[in-house]
Each structure stands twice: as C-alpha cells, then as structure tokens.
Structure 1
C-alpha cells in the first residue's frame, strides 16, 4: 500500500479514539510520532523482521510525515497499531486490550511466519537404519540407488531391427 507516513499515524490516532483530533495536532507532534514509529519498526528489523517498503529517516530528527512508503498490504495493520502504541503514552490515552492483542498477533505473524526455516538433509555415509527403508515410498533421507536393470524376455525385440548401425556415434568401439 502506497501512502505517506502521516496516513499511518492518523489511523493509529483513530485507533485511540482521536480521529477528529488529528487536525488539531501540530506538525511537530506528528513528526515526533513518525520518529517514534521509525524507531519502533527499526527495532522489529533488528529482530529479523524487515518491513519491505518502509523508508527510514536519515537522522533521528528528520522523519518527514509526508514521506511516501510502499509496504505490503498484509503489514498495514501492524504499522497502524504500532503508531497507536507509540502515540498513546505521550497523548495520555489508555490502550484497549484489543489493540494490544491485535498488535501482538500482527508482530508474531511477522516475526515467525515470515522467516524461512532452514532445511537439512542427513549425510549419506550413515548406516541404513529404520529411518531409511528402501521399500518405503516417498522422499528418502539418503540418495536412492539407481533402479536395477533386468534384461527380461526377448519377445518384444524385433529380430530384423538393426541395433548397431553406423549412425550411432559411439567413440572407442
């Protein structure tokens, strides 16, 4: 979702019940909340959860509320609730338990479900045991042996067929 940072701050204040009071806020207060929101999202990034598309300020005092950010739609609620949590203490508003629970769920989704789980495979020099059953179907831990080649009956071969003709490009024979 492409929007200015002030959009997320305004919606965060609306979460606190101050949707009509957003226009009474001085620009310095909006900048301060944007700075705190930048710090909060940077804290999440240090834990391994990157919010793609969020533009951080270069210096602590230079968070511009008009800066356009382009974050994934699934993370909009997280940013709005983070803005509400950041703004509430300085405004003197109490947070509802629903807001705190929603933010916790959104953070958990970002921290745990967005990570790639490393996958490992057992090495092939381990002895064959109960975990590697050759007759079992599906993915095995070890490299499967190539299938055995059986000659079988000769009934399906055409006796007039030229097996070794000159078109075979076999070197060394």
Structure 2
C-alpha cells in the first residue's frame, strides 16, 4: 500500500478514538509520533523482522510526514496499530485490550511466520531404506566428506591422450 507516513499516524490516532481531533494536533506532535513509530519499527527490524518499503528518517529527531512509503498490504494493520501504541501514552489515552491483542497477533505473524524453516536433506552416502530409525543409537545423518585425492609424490598419473600436443582428438574415445 502506497501512502504517506502521515496516513499511518492519523489512522493510529483514529484507533485511539481521535479521528476527528487529528487536525487539532500541532505538526510537531505528529512528527514526534512519526519518530516514535520509526523507532518502534526499527526495533522490530533489529529482531530480524523487516517491513519492506518503510522509509526511515535520515537523522534522529527528523521525520517527514509526507514521505511516501510502500509497504505490503498484509503489514498495514501492524503499522497502524504500532502508531496507536506509541501515541497513546504521550496524549493521555488508555489502550483498549483489543488493540493490544491485535498488535500482538500482527507482531507474532511478522516475527515468526515469515521466518524460513530450515531444511535438511540426507547425504547421498546413506544406504537406501535407512530412513529415520528412532531406535538407532548415535548420529543417523553422516556428514558428506569430499573424496580423498591420491596425487602425491609416489603416485603415477598417466593420461590416455597427449594433453600438450596439437593432436587432441577427443572424439575418438
């Protein structure tokens, strides 16, 4: 969803029941809420949950409410609820329990469900039909080691063709 940052701040204030009073706020108050929203989303990013398309402020304490952001539609509710959470204490509004629960669900979805599940494959040197045997003792999956190369001073290497002459007819094999 492409929208300016001010849209998310206004929707966050509307979540607190102040949809008609948005225009009564000073621009500095809206910028302060936007800065706190940036800090909140940066904290989520430090935990490994990146909100793609969100543009952070260039310097601390400087936020441009007209900055266009393009975030996925699935994360719009998370950003709006985050704006409501960071704005509520500074304007003296109490949070509804439903708002807090919705934000927790949205954060959990972002933090846990977008993580890739590690995939494991069996190495190619396991016998066919070995499967997962819970009664077997010890390690069941063996690391695949590279083959040993026997090319030391006492080994002999004799290629089947001359490699350094101009007569390399490899079609005759």
TM-score between both structures, scaled by the size of structure 1:
0.74
Counterpart for residue 159 of structure 2: none
Counterpart for residue 98 of structure 2: 98
Alignment of 1:78-89 (within 5 A): 78-89=78-89
- For residues 37 and 92 of structure 1, what CA distance do their matches in structure 2 show? 17
Counterpart for residue 19 of structure 1: 19
- For residues 132 and 22 of structure 1, what CA distance do their matches in structure 2 show? 61
- For residues 61 and 172 of structure 1, what CA distance do their matches in structure 2 show? 75
**CA positional deviation for 1:115:** 1.5
Would you say how many aligned residue pairs link Structure 1 and Structure 2?
139
**CA positional deviation for 1:172:** 4.0
Instruction: Say what the alpha-carbon RMSD is for the aligned residues.
Output: 2.3
Counterpart for residue 40 of structure 2: 40
**CA positional deviation for 1:118:** 2.1
* Runs of 4+ residues deviating >4 angstroms: 127-130
Alignment of 1:40-79 (within 5 A): 40-79=40-79
C-alpha deviations, 1:5-63, integer Å up to 9, x for none? 01000000000011111000000000000000000000000111110110000111111
C-alpha deviations, 1:53-105, integer Å up to 9, x for none? 10000111111111111111110000000000000000111100000000000
Unaligned runs of 5+ in 2: 134-140, 142-170
Unaligned runs of 5+ in 1: 134-140, 142-170
- For residues 22 and 72 of structure 1, what CA distance do their matches in structure 2 show? 25
